[in-house]
């Protein structure tokens, strides 16, 4: 099942400068062990973040932060996922057809875990190692 999320992007004077429509999966309609297997999303523990920042400050390390736009949409799904046709785009010729997703979609229960797997593999391939206590902390030694 899918639904549309509509947003208006506004400038400083609250004038609408762009209209956005995002198609999302309705995750609450997914059934565990039928539609998905794994949904646990890794989240950094605040203690690990504080410890890391304190150590980095002590050692005068340069710390970088990043954001990946549309992160969940960059992962090819491990399993087959089908969604219904979105409202407003239902085929008159094939109203009962569904779409097979090639990549994760916002709202899917498995999307956060899928993204974590992609990011982890990307970092590991570049010489980083997962932290032994907090697996959201990646370390690269010289």
- Would you list the domain boundaries of the chain? 2-139
CA distances from 32 to 28, 38, 59, 101, 140 (A): 10, 8, 46, 18, 36
pLDDT, residue 75, reads 66
pLDDT, residue 56, reads 92
Helix residue ranges per DSSP H, 78-139: 111-125
pTM: 0.58
> Which range is most confident: 36-40, 89-93, 113-117?
89-93
At 80-103, the pLDDT tens digits run 778 888 878 788 888 888 888 887
pLDDT reading at 41 higher than 80:
no
Q: CA-to-CA distance for 128 and 64, rounded, in angstroms?
A: 15
């Amino acid at each position: 099942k899918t639904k549309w999320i509509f947003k208006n992007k506004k400038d400083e004077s609250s004038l609408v400068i762009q209209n956005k429509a995002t198609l999302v999966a309705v995750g609450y309609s997914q059934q565990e062990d039928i539609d998905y297997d794994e949904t646990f999303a890794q989240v950094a523990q605040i203690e690990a973040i504080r410890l890391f920042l304190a150590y980095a400050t002590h050692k005068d390390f340069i710390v970088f932060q990043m954001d990946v736009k549309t992160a969940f949409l960059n992962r090819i799904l491990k399993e087959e996922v089908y969604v219904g046709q979105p409202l407003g785009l239902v085929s008159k010729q094939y109203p009962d057809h569904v779409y097979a997703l090639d990549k994760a979609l916002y709202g899917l229960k498995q999307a956060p875990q899928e993204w974590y797997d992609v990011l982890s593999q990307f970092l590991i391939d570049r010489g980083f190692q997962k932290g032994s206590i907090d697996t959201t902390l990646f370390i690269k030694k010289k």
